[in-house]
Amino acid sequence: MGDLTLEGLVARLEPHRLAVLGGFFCDGDPDLPKGTRVLVLIGPAEPGYWDHVTSQSEWGGPDPVDRWSRRVIGQVACDIGAKALFPFGGPPWHPFHHWALKTGRAWDSPVRLLVHADEGLMVSFRGALALKDLVDLPAPAARPCDGCAKPCLTACPVGALTGQGYDLPRCHFFLDTASGQDCMDRGCAVRRACPLSQTYARMPDHSAYHMRQFHR
């Protein structure tokens, strides 16, 4: 579809409460589908995303968010002649972390999690679109951590996630305690500590769902 624009893509995603979170030009990249010229990363658009997803037909069955993402982003890809790629369902596993770093709108944070220009440490990706046509992309942004007091470094109540890395067993042990219920109900304390995360309208129920998926 040679007439595809960034504005047109945003308009197609908006009814599904999805947003373009960044992208990059990638002519000839051998790790992407043949003919891909631009890769666009897709993620939740808040406010409204979680209420929308939980009202869909997939909700109540297994892996509802992944199945909904595959259906919706897959249909958008078909409509515009693109290829849909997902951060789940592998192998092969697609390198979304690496792709995000190439957009100029996401970076490794002081705690090594991805931080996004708009969504902070709450950033998540539901899929990507490999486009055969060139489109304008969201402009690169300044890395927000460079002028930040970095509360993420000390936010974990048990020091499981710091600038030194991630102690996964310590995190899971803490989540099984009464004190860990706050993270289970509202989302990771480190992610919530980010000033950008606090400006992003992610619902606590959304965070709680993913915490349950993480800590089964």
The torsion angles phi and psi of 96, rounded to 5 degrees, stand at -60, -35
Helices (H), 103-203: 168-175, 181-186, 189-193, 195-199
Query: How high is the pLDDT of residue 90?
Result: 84
Q: Collapse the DSSP code of 120 into the 3-class scheme (helix H, G, I; strand E, B; otherwise coil) and give the result.
A: strand
Half-sphere exposure of 15 (CA within 13 A, CB side): 9
Section 16-34 average pLDDT: 94
For the chain, the average pLDDT equals 96
Q: Which amino acid is at 211?
A: M
- State pTM to two decimals: 0.94
The tens digit of pLDDT for each residue in 150-180 reads: 999 999 999 999 999 999 999 999 999 999 9
Task: Give me the helix-helix angle, 64-80 and 6-13, nearest 10°.
Answer: 140
Distance CA 6, CA 4 (A): 7
Q: Are 94 and 84 in contact (CB under 8 A)?
A: no
The tens digit of pLDDT for each residue in 115-127 reads: 999 999 999 999 9
Separation of CA 170 from chain center? 24
- Would you tell me how many other CB atoms lie within 10 Å of the CB of residue 166? 14
The pair of structure tokens assigned to 133 is 């046509």
pLDDT of 88 > 60? The answer is: yes
Query: How high is the pLDDT of residue 42?
Result: 98
